[in-house]
């Protein structure tokens, strides 16, 4: 799944030939301390969250627009800035981890606690050591893909996935999500739905509809606009992945290679 860049009309791509990079993070400065080009970026609708060291003499700035993280880079002369993606020789975005820490770090930590208090359905053993939260829509093919991809870890007892069912993609998403939550065994119903598109015979209840609405509102309040959105806790905090994870993202989410 790809998310459209909200600032694409003026974004530029900067390429840095670097094999591997660690970007030290600085605490946010006061807005009036930003260099003039960065202040100009703010006037165009971006929120600056902090700065970090970047390669090639550049200074990086973590920003966001409508809930999406983006980096800005100040040139060594301090007179110009570009907004976009700085990549290394392997084509990797050098600021991915840094952006998540500065833009999403506090939000993800708070959201982790909120998700734990909302209605979720567990897939996996209750004592599985690795906990994952994911916002799932019954009509989402990427949610189904993630469910399939993570099953080796779930079946091995290493991971439990906590599904927060939402209704955002289609007109009947709310109805389907509520019906799954109202099933005698919601976990089995969700698994059967993702396995072969089956739905339980029952309809949703007032309670299950309310739970879907609460999960959906939590997702919207966090400015998350597509499914799945999957959260996991690493050594350096809570992270999230949008869409069906790539193999490297799946390893990060589950904390290990496939069993």
Give the integer Cα–Cα distance in Å for 146 and 246.
10
Q: At 165, which helix (H) or strand (E)? A: strand 159-165
- The pLDDT of residue 32 is 55
Give the integer Cα–Cα distance in Å for 209 and 135.
15
Give the integer Cα–Cα distance in Å for 27 and 73.
16
Q: Can you give the pTM of this predicted structure?
A: 0.73
222 three-class SS: coil
- What torsion, rounded to 10 degrees, do the Cα atoms 250, 114, 172, 160 define? 40
- The pLDDT of residue 106 is 84
- Mean pLDDT per segment of 10 residues, for the chain of length 259 residues? 39 35 42 83 90 92 86 94 91 85 87 96 97 98 97 97 97 97 97 96 95 97 93 91 93 94
Q: Name the maximum alpha-carbon separation found in the chain.
A: 66
* CA–CA distances in Å: residue 222 to residues 72, 176, 229: 23, 23, 11
Cis peptide before 228 (omega within 30 of 0): yes
The ranges of the chain annotated as CATH 3.40.30.10 are 118-254
Cis peptide before 97 (omega within 30 of 0): no
Give the integer Cα–Cα distance in Å for 38 and 63.
10
Assess contact for 41 and 81: CB atoms under 8 A: yes
- The pLDDT of residue 66 is 79
Q: Are strands 59-65 and 121-123 parallel, antiparallel or unpaired?
A: unpaired
CA-nearest of 168, 162, 182, 158 to 118 is 162
Give the integer Cα–Cα distance in Å for 23 and 43.
26
The ranges of the chain annotated as CATH 3.10.450.70 are 8-95
Architecture of the structural domain at 118-254: 3-Layer(aba) Sandwich (3.40)
Q: Where are the beta strands (DSSP E) in 29-157?
A: 47-53, 59-65, 68-74, 81-84, 86-87, 121-123, 130-136
Judged on CB neighbours under 10 Å (0-12, 13-18, 19+), 184 is: exposed
Q: Which superfamily does CATH assign the domain made up of 8-95 to?
A: Disulphide bond isomerase, DsbC/G, N-terminal (3.10.450.70)
């Amino acid at each position: 799944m790809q998310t459209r860049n909200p600032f694409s009309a003026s974004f530029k791509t900067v390429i840095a030939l670097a094999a591997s990079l660690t970007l030290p993070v600085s605490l946010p400065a006061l807005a009036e301390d930003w260099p003039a080009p960065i202040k100009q970026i703010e006037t165009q609708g971006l929120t600056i969250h902090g700065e970090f060291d970047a390669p090639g003499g550049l200074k990086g700035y973590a920003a966001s627009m409508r809930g999406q993280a983006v980096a800005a880079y100040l040139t060594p002369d301090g007179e110009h800035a570009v907004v976009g993606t700085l990549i290394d020789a392997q084509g990797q975005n050098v600021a991915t981890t840094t952006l998540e820490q500065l833009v999403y770090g506090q939000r993800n930590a708070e959201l982790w606690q909120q998700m734990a208090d909302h209605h979720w359905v567990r897939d996996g053993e209750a004592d599985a050591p690795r906990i994952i939260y994911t916002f799932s829509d019954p009509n989402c093919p990427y949610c189904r893909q993630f469910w399939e991809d993570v099953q080796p870890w779930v079946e091995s007892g290493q991971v439990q996935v906590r599904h927060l069912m939402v209704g955002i993609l289609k007109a009947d998403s709310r109805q389907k999500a509520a019906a799954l939550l109202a099933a005698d065994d919601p976990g089995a119903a969700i698994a059967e739905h993702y396995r072969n598109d089956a739905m339980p015979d029952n309809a949703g209840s007032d309670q299950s509809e309310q739970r879907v609405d609460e999960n959906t509102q939590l997702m919207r309040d966090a400015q998350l606009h597509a499914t799945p959105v999957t959260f996991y806790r690493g050594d350096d905090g809570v992270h999230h992945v949008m869409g069906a994870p790539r193999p490297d993202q799946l390893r990060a989410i589950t904390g290990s290679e496939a069993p």
